[in-house]
Amino acid sequence: MNLRIKLYLVFTGLVILVVPGSAAPGGEAGFVSMFDGESFKGWTVKPESAGEAWAIREGMIVGNGDQGRCYLEYDSPDVADFELKLSYRFPGEGNSGVNIRSNPDTTGKRRFQSYHADIGHVGVGKQVLGAWDFHTPGRREHGCFRGDRLVIDEDDNPTRTQIEGAVTLGDIKKGGWNDIRVIAKGNKFTFYVNGKLSSEFTEHLPDERRLHTGKIQLQLHNPGMIVHFKNLRIRIDDQK
C-alpha cells in the first residue's frame, strides 16, 4: 500500500469518526440532531416535577398534558440566531409549540418569557396553529396569526399584512406528521409549516425591550392532550 492510499484512509477514517456524532440525518449542511431517538440526553424537563409528562416511544418524543403546563428544554447554551426543524403529530386535540429565546419570567405571570411558535390540531384556529405568540410580560403581546406578516415599530405599534401563498389548513395533515421550520435571525422571525410560510414578525423595539437570546423548549399546554415529536435538528448561527 503506497503512502498516498494510507493517508487517504487515515483521513477518511477521521471523517467517519467525527461526522456521525454531529451531523443531522439527511446530510443537511450545518444541522445537528437534537434527539437520539432513544433517550432524553441533552434535554431537561421544566419543572422537574413534571418528568412523567414526557416519554420516548418508537423513536419519538411523546408529551402528555395531564401533568399540566410544562416544558422540555434543550440543554444547549443560550441561542440567539438559528434554524430549527422538526416533525410533529397530534393524535387528537391539543395545543403545543416551541419556545425560543426563552428565559425565566421574573414577573411571575408565566414560568418563562419567550417568543412562541404555536402548533395544535387542525381546527384549533389560526390564532394557534402556525401562529406566533408573545410571552413577553411588560410589553404588548401582539397577535401574529397564521397567514400574518407583523411588523412592530419602535413604539410597540403593530402593522399586519397578509402573506401571499401562506400555508392553509389544506396543507396540514390532520392526525398525521407535519414538518415545521422556525428561523430566528436578529429581529426577524419566520415560521414555516410543511414548506410554506405560515407567519412572520419583525420587531424594531429598543434593545432593552426585546429578547435577544435564550433556551429552546417544547411545550405542553393543557391536560388531555398528546403530542408527538421526531426528527429534531438545529443549525445554530449565533450562540451567546
In the chain, where the domains are located: 34-239
Phi and psi based region of residue 130 (left: phi greater than 0; alpha: psi -120 to 50; beta: remaining): left
Quick one: average pLDDT of 224-233? 97
Radius of gyration over every alpha carbon of the chain, rounded to an integer in angstroms: 19
- The more confident residue out of 114 and 8 is 114
**pLDDT digit string (tens) for 15-68?**
333 333 346 655 688 999 999 999 999 999 999 999 999 999 999 999 999 988
pTM for the complete prediction? 0.88
Average pLDDT across the chain, whole number: 90
**pLDDT digit string (tens) for 94-105?**
999 999 999 999
- How would residue 14 be classed by pLDDT, with cut points 50, 70 and 90? very low
| DSSP code of residue 12 | H
pLDDT at residue 220 greater than cutoff 90: yes
**pLDDT digit string (tens) for 135-150?**
998 899 999 999 999 9
- The more confident residue out of 114 and 18 is 114
Distance CA 92, CA 126 (A): 17
Quick one: average pLDDT of 67-71? 89
pLDDT at residue 10 greater than cutoff 70: no
Q: Please check whether the domain covering 34-239 is classified as CATH 3.20.20.70.
A: no
| C-alpha distances out from residue 80 to 31, 45, 53, 186, 230, Å | 16, 21, 28, 8, 23
Give the residue carrying C-alpha cell 440566531.
81
